[in-house]
Structure 1
């Protein structure tokens, strides 16, 4: 298999910035994610999290790391692929909430030169915000977040492929809830090896009438988490037209834990579902 980091030398890292300065040190940290040493990998992961998307903040380098993180998850020989996927998610969608409608238009007012100067100020100046108008920094943050999201959007087919991989399927399903669906993605969600997580994502996708049929069939699944997530998804999609047996499940059954990749508890999802139904 081709080295997932083979293209690192093709990126002008010295022209990009992260939270701590020029991004020339990013390639080495990405390589460390392939290290056989656990401590080395964990250290690189922590460093990248702080430098590339710290506390939801994005930088010019954020979009540049996306294809390499995707390639690392794509490669089964990459250690701790679940952690790499978690980092990818943080870079691509940050702390965005569902349902998600991307709007990064407020970041378009700055030129590339403006953005480069602001990135340099933020990473190298001791008092950067005194050296440029505050609205410039706000617009830059939106622009870099938008660049990272669009970089992630380019790899939706990879996320759909991960739905058949037990190691990362649940996280991949959650990530797909943030992107516009197509028939191939929906088909992959319907057949995912992580059906509980896929069900939740299907609840956030509008259209695709066959999804309702699939979710209704999932109400008969043996695992409680699959039945419960199917009922939640149907409530999100159908509202007051929710089938009675799905409503009974939401009202009468104590919910299990949420699938991997989802921050909200299953009880929280049930509460949202009941509100959607009108209870």
Structure 2
């Protein structure tokens, strides 16, 4: 992984855009993720979702943000707590950052590309999506380091991040190795979203998902402690978490 400070310093943020224009303010948001003040880092976490990945969109600035987020995962300060509400994942900020990586990865999967193509927006025609796809092996290596973490929340978030990243052609061979963890850890999670992710992934990989229980009532999809963006109102339970094309 590139050094996070080098990513901050060497990225020309003024030439990149996020949801609200020029990304000149992105470095301040990213540095604040490790702030000693829980309120400050909680707000920063909200901004990387609401500004740098607004409504599940991949922006130009989302790509270096992903590199920075992945690079700071080993920092002991990511073990700190963040403010929680009914839309938050349980766990520390490391858990939340892994969940953010999972979210951006989910927007450049083969399934996301197929959906985008139906609407006339193949990912190959959208440079930020192309760039995000190119760094998937780096993001995967960063997340993989935590799939056996002693903290269950971190472990689940890491596996959840790895799943969409393994659509990368270079990583397809890793699916068989990760499948037992997907079944054993995600498949038994207290969060139905993780159980659904396990079922979807195992089915897509032609692995055994029998005996796993997901959430099959579409009217209950949003009674969770994850963000509203994770809801699948009336959608096919095997279709994934995210909204359809954001661009």
TM-score w.r.t. the length of structure 1 is: 0.55
Q: Is the 8 A contact 1:4 1:75 kept in 2?
A: no
Q: Is contact 2:102–2:162 with CA below 8 Å preserved after alignment?
A: no
Q: Which residue of structure 1 aligns with residue 111 of structure 2? A: 100
Specify the alignment match of 1:169 in structure 2.
155
Shift of 1:102: 3.3
| 184-193 vs 26-35, greater mean Cα deviation | 184-193
1:203 equivalent in structure 2: 202
Q: CA RMSD in A?
A: 4.0
Superposition pairs for residues 1-279 of structure 1, below 5 Å? Answer: 4-78=4-78, 79=80, 80-94=93-107, 100=111, 102=113, 106=121, 142-165=126-149, 166-178=152-164, 179-180=166-167, 181-191=171-181, 194-196=185-187, 197=194, 199-200=198-199, 202-207=201-206, 211-212=207-208, 227-228=212-213, 263=230
Match of 1:131 in 2: none
Secondary structure class of the residue paired with 2:111: coil
Q: How far is the alpha carbon of 1:260 from its aligned partner?
A: 7.8
Unaligned ranges ≥5, structure 2: 81-92, 188-193, 217-222, 239-247
Q: Which residue of 1 aligns with 2:87?
A: none
Aligned mates of 2:231, 2:18 — CA distance in 1 = 29
Deviation at 1:172, TM superposition (A): 2.6
SS in 2 for 1:102: helix
2:33 and 2:43 mapped to 1: Cα distance?
9
Q: Secondary structure at the match of 1:36?
A: coil
TM-score, length of structure 2 as denominator length: 0.61
Change (3 A) 1:56 1:93: same
Aligned residues: 198
Give the number of the structure with larger relative contact order, counting CA–CA contacts within 8 Å between residues 6 or more apart: 2
Deviations 1:11-62 (A, max 9, x none): 2222212222322221121110001211101111222222212112332111
TM-aligned CA deviation for residue 76 of structure 1:
4.2
Partner of 1:118: none
More helix per residue: 1 or 2? 1
